[in-house]
Amino acid sequence: MSSPYTANTLSYSEDVKGWPSFYSFLPDYMCGMNGFFYSWSGGNLYRHNTNPLRNNYYGVQYSSTIQSVFNFEPQTIKLFKTMSYESNDAWNCTSLFTDLNTGAMPGTNIPPLQTWFVQKEGEWFTYLRDVSGATNFRDRSANGVGVCTNVSGPVAAVVIEFANQDSLGSLLSVGDGVYLDNAPNAPIFIGAATAIVRQSTTNVTTGVVTPPSITVDTVGPYPNAINPLPLPFPGVVPAATDFILFIKDAVSASTGARGYFMNFTLQNDNVDAVELFSVGSSVMKSNP
């Protein structure tokens, strides 16, 4: 049975009384006879599985793909930290997402999760990372600084002061992306932090107080020596009374993927025989 709507071929098995196989090639007709599988395409007769070349149908080379899901304890929100598989060849992870919109869910503009598989003791292993340059202000890597009280300096070195607080804390780092938030759910990019004064200081002789501050480059362009990661330059210069926040690089601040399940697709382009033995993930209960 050929389906022109889904571009897949389904085969029916009398033994299992069902449709166990889906094929990406589209023959005009096919049948099994005398232990061989035959199909017709374009008026030509083909006998399958007669040479070592894999995934080549009617002169068109295809890829091997497998799509599956990690879905144990389906009523629990989980944190997927890693992904691994056992195979005699390397596979490429072309799609990876969770139901809580972490990763490249089809039909959305959400950037995919990144994988860098390395072979360890015969198993291919990777941590799950966000894409460099991606900004998700719901992540734990986004944090508020405070309401700025004064802004000065040139656009390449804007000094943002916070006279109403004694400290900026220890989370903010040079190279972090700095934003202002004067509209709900719409942070505006300022630039990259190039210098930080974390604590307010008082000159014991003059009594002059130097408030904590952030020096921000709003011009860019990046990447450069300070921050090799992409940021959406140019930025805007904030005004006094703007609320300032920052977000760290998505890759270095990645904690994994959260969701009830994680869907993945693996792809292999080898024309030789390849075996995929197992796929796994290191998972823990999410504790927000």
pLDDT score, position 90: 92
Going residue by residue through the chain (288 aa), what tens digit of pLDDT does each one get? 544 455 678 888 888 899 887 777 889 988 889 989 899 999 999 998 888 888 888 888 888 889 999 998 999 999 999 999 999 999 999 888 888 755 554 444 455 677 889 998 889 999 888 776 667 787 778 899 999 999 999 999 999 999 999 999 999 999 899 999 977 678 999 999 999 999 999 999 998 999 999 999 998 776 554 455 567 788 999 999 999 999 987 777 777 888 899 999 999 999 998 999 999 999 999 887
The boundaries of every CATH 2.40.30 domain in the chain are 142-247
pLDDT score, position 111: 55
Q: Take residue 30 and report the two structure tokens written for it.
A: 């096919």
Determine the topology of domain 142-247 in CATH.
Elongation Factor Tu (Ef-tu); domain 3 (2.40.30)
pLDDT score, position 2: 47
pLDDT score, position 3: 46
What is the widest separation between alpha-carbon atoms in the chain?
101
Q: Take residue 202 and report the two structure tokens written for it.
A: 């008082």
Cα–Cα distance measured from residue 273 to residue 265, given in angstroms and rounded to the nearest whole number: 19
Q: Take residue 185 and report the two structure tokens written for it.
A: 């759910």
Sequence-separated (6 or more) residues with CB below 8 Å from residue 252: none
Helix (H) or strand (E) holding 124: strand 123-129
pLDDT score, position 56: 87
Long-range contacts of 13-18 (CB under 8 A, 24+ apart): none
Cα–Cα distance measured from residue 141 to residue 114, given in angstroms and rounded to the nearest whole number: 17
DSSP string over 100-123: TS-B--TTS-PPPPEE--EEETTE
Instruction: Read off the amino acid at residue 264.
Output: F
24: exposed, middle or buried (Cβ count in 10 Å: 0-12, 13-18, 19+): middle
108: exposed, middle or buried (Cβ count in 10 Å: 0-12, 13-18, 19+): exposed
pLDDT score, position 226: 47
Q: Is 277:87 a contact under the CB 8 Å cutoff? A: yes
pLDDT score, position 106: 47
Q: What's the predicted TM-score (pTM) here?
A: 0.69
Q: Is 98:134 a contact under the CB 8 Å cutoff? A: no
pLDDT score, position 125: 95
Whose tokens are 């072979």? That residue is 119
